[in-house]
Amino acid sequence: MRFGRAYKYHGLGNDFVLFDSIKTGRLIKPRDAVFICDRHFGVGADGVLTLLPSKKADFYMHIYNSDGSVAEMCGNGIRCAVKHFVDTHRTKAGILRVETKKGIQICEYSRKGGEVESVVVNMGSPILEPRDIPVKSRDIQLKIKLGNNTISGMAVSMGNPHFVFFGNYSEKDIHKWGPHIEKHHLFPRHTNVELARLINRSEILLYVWERGVGITLACGSGSCATVVAGVKRGLVAPDRFIKVRLLGGDLYVKYDTGADVVYMRGTAKRVFGIDF
């Protein structure tokens, strides 16, 4: 099957194949996304982004996970989408409105050498109401029993569900617990899983198990959910950018508690373009 022109991007190693369908409105099928994301038989990626026309914003960003499921929002993906749109369509607006399944996200970008270097995304307000996350509980503070271990954490949604837990854990623990928590019965739509180790009130070390993907090198919405959980628990400082150290690099997240808005700042890189 011929898919046409596509591009490989990554945000801190969280990688995507991107289709620019703003003029055509063409969207590939879920099974095609699974094939494209396969790292042995396809291009290889954590997900597929498609830029589509929008009547409400500069463009609509559609997101497939590597298993063919559709994601509501992706923090790393939206930075890649903004970089592609600005660098390819040569807009000079400075601020873009991107429509997603979650809603419209406001993105402000900076350039270096004529290309987008960094993007600040207004991720909106965190969702902390159990039924809206959704989670089958009256409380967002949860205890999940896995074998002989009980994991205590917080459910947060940034348009997509997350379960965040802090502790003195290692990377091997997210491999061990991530797939079980992702599909735990408390989460009817499954969940992303974040294991956070607190460095200090301004810095977090984070490991991520993404819903429908598995271990990823970075997760923008997961970093935002983790900072929100940290602020709510009094572990990290509110109203200033917190450094989130991920396997693929660093993101910076601020939870403005007065406005109840989360901001994320990070880079995006184009790797190559391909016709296939």
- Is-catalytic flag, 74? yes
Identity of the residue numbered 56: K
* pLDDT surpasses 70 at 194: yes
CATH number of 5-125+267-275, picked from 3.10.310.10, 3.50.50.100, 3.30.70.20, 1.10.357.10: 3.10.310.10
8 Å CB contact between 156 and 193: no
* pLDDT surpasses 80 at 92: no
8 Å CB contact between 3 and 36: yes
* pLDDT surpasses 90 at 90: no
Mean pLDDT, rounded, of the chain: 95
Residue with tokens 């409380």: 139
130-258 folds as Diaminopimelate Epimerase; Chain A, domain 1 (3.10.310)
Instruction: Say what percent of the chain tops pLDDT 90.
Output: 92
The residues spanned by each domain of the chain are 5-125+267-275, 130-258
E strands, the chain, are 5-11, 14-20, 47-52, 59-65, 95-99, 104-112, 115-124, 141-146, 149-157, 161-166, 192-200, 203-210, 214-216, 242-246, 249-256, 261-267, 269-275
Four-point Cα dihedral 231, 237, 241, 244, nearest 10: -70
Q: Of residues 74, 80, 107, 224, which has the active-site annotation?
A: 74
Q: Could you tell me which residues come within 8 angstroms of residue 6 by beta carbon, excluding any fewer than 6 positions away? A: 17, 18, 19, 36, 43, 273, 274, 275, 276
* pLDDT surpasses 80 at 160: yes
Confidence at 1, pLDDT banded by 50, 70, 90 = low
The Cα 151–Cα 169 span in angstroms is 11
Length of the chain: 276
* pLDDT surpasses 90 at 8: yes
What is the pLDDT, as a whole number, of residue 32? 96
8 Å CB contact between 174 and 209: yes
Residues 99-155 pLDDT 10s = 999 999 999 999 988 899 999 999 999 999 999 999 999 999 999 998 888 999 999
Task: Of 50-59, 142-151, 199-208, 265-274, give the lowest mean pLDDT range.
Answer: 142-151
8 Å CB contact between 271 and 8: yes
- Is-catalytic flag, 224? no
Burial tier of 97 (Cβ tally within 10 Å: 0-12, 13-18, 19+)? middle
Residue with tokens 């607006």: 93
Domains 5-125+267-275 and 130-258 share a fold: yes
Residues 261-271 pLDDT 10s = 999 999 999 99
Q: Of residues 37, 80, 219, 224, which has the active-site annotation?
A: 219
Angle at alpha carbon of residue 217, lines to 117 and 168, rounded to 5° = 120
Output the CA–CA distances (angstroms, integers) from residue 202 to 152, 183, 187, 199, 235, in the order listed.
Answer: 22, 31, 30, 8, 9
